Amino acid sequence: MNTNTFTQTGKTYVLSDIHGCYDEYLEMLEKIDFGPEDTLYFLGDAIDRGPDGIKIMLDMMEHPNIHAILGNHEAMALDALPVLEAIRGNANTGVTAGDKSKLKKWIVNGSLPSIIEYTSLPDGDKKRVMDYMKSLPLYREIEVNGEKYILVHGELGNFSPDRPLEDYSRSDLVWERPETSTKYYDDKTVIVGHSPTIISLDRSGKIFYGDGFIDVDCGCVYDNVLGCLCLDTMEEFYVKKAA
């Protein structure tokens, strides 16, 4: 189910695109004083590019109040890891050219640190990570202080205000990117990651506010900051990428 329906007493935060920056992730949790009564929605891309993506994912799995959605890097991992395991196990007779292209796509997009981490895990933890990624929804709908939000990794690609959310494809939701001129709904706000504001949109490197959407990916892994937004107060929090 993609709608947040449980009773919440603490604050609600949104964070995206940690990309292996584990120390910055922990520092952010400390900075917002994240406690068991609070809720953190993570918009995908814990893994790849940086060194500790699987470690971040394993930590998130231990927090029942951290709710993640699927990012394009987790989507690539789901497509590519079975291929990688087949090749590593010398069982690649059934691996097709299309399968190999999925693995190549993931590698080109910065997966090497995650591959090193994943392949070093015990088999039980490998299964836990795969099961966790498979469980991630493509979007979530939540309401905070009477304001309605749609949380998604990339954007609502091929958007129409009358199009039901369940009709959007995985590609529409995890790969497409909004532009500064993008307009969504009048009565709800779409919150995205995926497009680091240090190199896209207004290139400010801070949380970006568009017309009916907010981008919280500030490009931490690109030597900028990890951004987090409190939806109760609209307060912004930033952690600088360690040197």
- CA-to-CA distance for 239 and 17, rounded, in angstroms? 13
Residue 3: inside a domain: no
Burial (CB < 10 A; 0-12, 13-18, 19+), residue 187, is exposed
Confidence of residue 8 (pLDDT cuts 50, 70, 90): low
Residue 223: inside a domain: yes
Q: Has residue 27 got a pLDDT over 90?
A: yes
- CA-to-CA distance for 55 and 81, rounded, in angstroms? 17
Q: Which string of b and e fits 188-225 if b means at least 16 CB within 10 Å?
A: ebbbbbbbbbbebbeeebbbbebebbbbbbbbbbeebb
Residue 6: inside a domain: no
Confirm if 184 and 213 have CB atoms less than 8 A apart.
yes
71 lies in which domain range?
A: 12-240
**Largest distance between two CA atoms of the chain:** 55
For the segment 161-186, what is each residue's pLDDT rounded down to a tens digit?
999 999 999 999 999 999 999 999 99
- CA-to-CA distance for 194 and 71, rounded, in angstroms? 8
Residue 181: inside a domain: yes
Q: Has residue 218 got a pLDDT over 90?
A: yes
Tally of domains in the chain: 1
Confidence of residue 6 (pLDDT cuts 50, 70, 90): very low
Out of 12-26, 93-107, 126-140, 161-175, least confident range: 93-107
* Average predicted confidence (pLDDT) for the chain: 95
pLDDT of residue 234: 98
- CA-to-CA distance for 200 and 202, rounded, in angstroms? 6
The residue among 62, 74, 58 whose CA lies nearest residue 129 is 58
pLDDT of residue 120: 97
Residue 5: inside a domain: no
pLDDT of residue 94: 79
The residue among 47, 121, 50 whose CA lies nearest residue 77 is 47
The residue among 117, 11, 13 whose CA lies nearest residue 56 is 117
Residue 1: inside a domain: no
Q: Has residue 17 got a pLDDT over 60?
A: yes
Question: What CATH number is associated with residue 201?
Answer: 3.60.21.10
pLDDT of residue 89: 80
- CA-to-CA distance for 28 and 218, rounded, in angstroms? 13
Q: Has residue 3 got a pLDDT over 50?
A: no
Residue 175: inside a domain: yes
pTM for this predicted structure: 0.95
Q: Has residue 2 got a pLDDT over 60?
A: no
CA distances, 31 to each of 35, 72, 90, 147, 239 (Å) = 11, 27, 46, 25, 8
Residue 4: inside a domain: no
**What letter represents residue 183's amino acid?**
K
Pairing of strands 213-215, 225-230: unpaired
Average pLDDT over residues 61-73: 98
DSSP of 116-159:
HHHHTS-HHHHHHHHHHHHH--SEEEEEETTEEEEEESS--TT-
- CA-to-CA distance for 226 and 28, rounded, in angstroms? 8
